[in-house]
Amino acid sequence: MNPVTAQRIRSTITHLLLLAGVAISIFPFYWMFVMASRTTTDVFKYPPELLPGTHLLENIRKIFDNIDMVGSTFNTLVVALATTVLVLFFDSIAAFAFAKYEFPGKNILFVVLLATFMIPSQLSTVPSFIVMANLGWVGSLWALIIPGAVNAFGIFLLRQYAQGAIPSDLLDAARIDGCNFWQQYRNVALPLLRPALAFLGIFTFIGTWNDYLWPLVVLIDPEKVTLQVALSQMKGLFTTDYSMVMAGTLLAVIPLIIVFFIGARQFLSDLAAGALKQ
């Protein structure tokens, strides 16, 4: 077998494997759409229905009749956007300082930061609730936004990226030109951190949008519930309209897909631009 033929075979196999991976990844979303467009009886059919039905609009109408879809979606959007902006701001500042500045206790603080990865988030539910109660934030969206404004994962990710992406010589030149910390952060660090910030933004937005446990615990006002909590209320006491639940899940996923494509485009374009510069 000549090298050209061998290369074509390898390329064909690689593309087939990639297409298989894409199909496996997309199928759950397609299946969700199929079930959202059918009746609950169709959900339990065997063999299962593989083609979309005609009940999608009816199921969506039932969602709006059962829960406050608009209000809960707005609450979730406010929390997700505010949390994402705060995480990108505070995590990038901390990561920049850890990566490019020397200060007393730097290594100890970073080890403590890494140690928080070993603590399950569920263990902080009760202490966090007590703190929110003392602040008078129980039932308020502030109880969702402020505790999520900084996370150790984001600091660790941006710090690791900043160490290689931000040249020390560039910062030295900025200092010689009279730039203080904030000017170096805004004019030097942020443009170079954009690919990592895009990824962290996607990760944070999706995680906040899908959060269920903490909003369920801390939001006591029915008008302030987030989307995931509202969707859980569609489950009946004795029977559940699963096609309606699937339609609600489908509506909840659409904003995540939009955010992912917007953020992924920025992420990939910045990576490509960096590769061309190098």
Convert the pLDDT of each residue in 38-84 to its tens digit: 888 877 887 887 888 888 888 888 888 888 888 899 999 999 999 99
Is 186 inside a domain boundary? yes
186: tokens are: 């805004």
Query: Which residue, 147, 154, 52, is CA-closest to 93?
Result: 154
Instruction: Say whether pLDDT at 172 is over 60.
Output: yes
Is 275 inside a domain boundary? no
144: tokens are: 């969702």
Tell me the pTM.
Answer: 0.85
Is 261 inside a domain boundary? no
Is 32 inside a domain boundary? no
Q: Rounded to whole angstroms, how far apart are CA atoms 192 and 154?
A: 16
Tell me what the mean pLDDT of segment 209-227 comes to: 88
Is 268 inside a domain boundary? no
Q: Which amino acid is at 257?
A: I
pLDDT at res. 79: 94
Is 190 inside a domain boundary? yes
For residue 146, name the pLDDT band (cuts at 50, 70, 90): very high
Q: How far lies 226's CA from each of 29, 100, 193, 223, 270, in Å?
A: 22, 39, 31, 9, 33
Number of domains comprising the chain: 1
Q: Which amino acid is at 233?
A: Q
Residue 33: what are its φ and ψ, rounded to 5°? -65, -40
pLDDT at res. 275: 45
Structural contact between residues 92 and 199, judged by C-beta atoms closer than 8 angstroms:
no
Query: Which residue, 198, 190, 201, 206, is CA-closest to 265?
Result: 198
| Cα-based torsion angle of the residue sequence 89, 253, 225, 61 in order, rounded to the nearest 10 degrees | 150
Query: Which residue, 247, 224, 259, is CA-closest to 72?
Result: 224
CATH number at residue 163: 1.10.3720.10
In terms of pLDDT, which residue wins out, 236 or 3? 3
* Average pLDDT taken over every residue of the chain: 85
Q: In sequence order, what E strands does the chain have?
A: none
For residue 272, name the pLDDT band (cuts at 50, 70, 90): low
Is 11 inside a domain boundary? no
Query: Which are the contacts of 89, defined by CB distance < 8 A and separation ≥ 6?
Result: none
Q: Each residue of 234-244: pLDDT tens digit?
A: 776 556 778 88
Local structure of 238: helix, strand or coil = coil
Least confident stretch, 46-55, 70-79, 102-111, 161-170: 46-55
Is 147 inside a domain boundary? yes
Q: Determine the structural domain holding residue 229 and report its residue range.
A: 68-233
